[in-house]
Structure 1
């Protein structure tokens, strides 16, 4: 009886088959990463029933089996942040594009460690008797944090079928299969370019806008083009931006407003609210010395991909520490974004505003604190050795697409790699 049952079971259950195919693949990183297309080889294992009947809905799995995949030494990926999807081509007796999807389940993936991607599965309703071949096609890897980004991968050669289902005419019964995953196998360059300045401005002169005096209370600085050397989590970058410093007299002090005069760039990805905060140390010169801290609020609303990234006005209070003409120039700019910090230092002092100042108790003059701002020792001398970047008039501080620190890193982090493959 047991032997008979075994025979019956063997007839009723269509055996699953698992077949592997390899093919050249090109993967396009997120635009925000600045990375070029990456070429590598994908090895995919497809599992499906060897036999089934017309009317069956069979489950098919897709799994990449290429070994030695790594998360680059750039960014740790959190638990359950990586999700693969793809398309499997059915051809032969029946043609169809089969949507494949894996759950967003992965362990934490440290930098410079193997990528861990979930299995992808899909279903196909069989409609025609004959042989149906299954061939891997395009696939996508999505990383959800700190921002949602996609890497899109497609074959660069004709791909051989990975499995074949023999479909018999007859009644409907359910077919089965197992789950599978995709893994990308290209190599990515170790350095990820971040946004850079589109052009450089001409720079400012040694004298700025209105000079305070008499009964005047509002002072408008001139717009100066500031060349910055930026230290980002992914390396040193150059950027240039037009900046203007204005002041309003408040007793013996001045309320400062620092403005970036143009939208620095369009957002290359969705940016959550309260995730980007800029600040600056305005450099003092002339009669006075030191710096004045000014800062702006975080972005109150999410910024959608493609929308302009506006740098808010930076504000603070300048309490003079000396009598005479004191100059104000854009100084060190700091932007904190999604847990990263980018610091940009001017190549040289570009004076935007000159004020007649009267020394105040605990004023600047090289140290101390004043009102809402903080002063530190230092002058207005050149601080850097960085050439300007370009010559167009509409220059922009693209380093402030700052998500540079985090988002650009994602461009490399969502790949799996083959260690000795070269990029295109």
Structure 2
């Protein structure tokens, strides 16, 4: 596939980009800009897969393509095409189509030094266990600032397979793969900037935090029945046989007064990623232990329904609202915070623990018989009330609690980043 791109400043494009073949996959990619050039380079590489899988030492072969000439002020496209990845798919599972995404760094040196962030789309054929990895071409961009010779050299890269990372690092000096001759510009700002789809997202900033003016709604005022909590950013830590995982998820706790108790609704505000595999209906069920603090103590169990429909590979996954009932066990000002999050999927359990307590809702409570404070039920009990855990409650969920994390079940090796926490799912064909 070939296409013509007119570089900045009105120069006529030379021969359009070189067509690059993605090793063995038969995927052709056109590269933008004036006469493009590339040379295949190979380098010894050390790859560290997820925990539980032995590191691999192999050889990476790539082509880096860029314009042969450009001028100061241009933004040029740089493409990294894998001829051979250093590691194969481990002998554990078959990787489904469109479940693998590469990212990495190309180092610019010479007249201009920079680390160019590269990323490829999550596009791949199904890869059987033990087979060679087939990785999409990665693309990045560089704005040229200085006249002279700029060299491009591939460096470290990461292979993300369904939210698990294999990190690969060169173990020898890598030869330059492309050179750009940069001429002085005319002072203008025109460039051959890539479109949004060409911008690497590996270093995207985190989601904005809630407004500083937001605060927990307190249960004041005569006759008030509905109480809206504030959205809080909850840092979850998950432990799994394929590596520790952590992510921050926005969560909000709301309440509706029901006589002396409160009907709770826990909402995950962050949209979730697309599913990398088919997930059958009624196979995924989330729950949480809401942490009580202030006047009250213990936890309140809330849970959501199972997925009502099949989730096809590539379709979005959503965390439903989690609901339960809080019966106060103390009079005074009580706080509610997101606690331990659990997802059960086809006989497996995944547990993620907040690294710190973030209060979402504050209520003025009145003690009810059999309420939460001083209760003896363990977390994860009936949804009609809460109780203290055997360690005296979950209000303190700092680093000292990490030893209590449950080992997460690895089901067919399929890990999905769901609402900021890591859960495991079974693709539906076989159990490991």
Q: TM-score, normalised by structure 1?
A: 0.48
Q: Which has the larger radius of gyration?
A: 1
TM-score, L = length of structure 2: 0.47
Which structure ranks higher in relative contact order (CA pairs < 8 Å, sequence separation ≥ 6)? 1
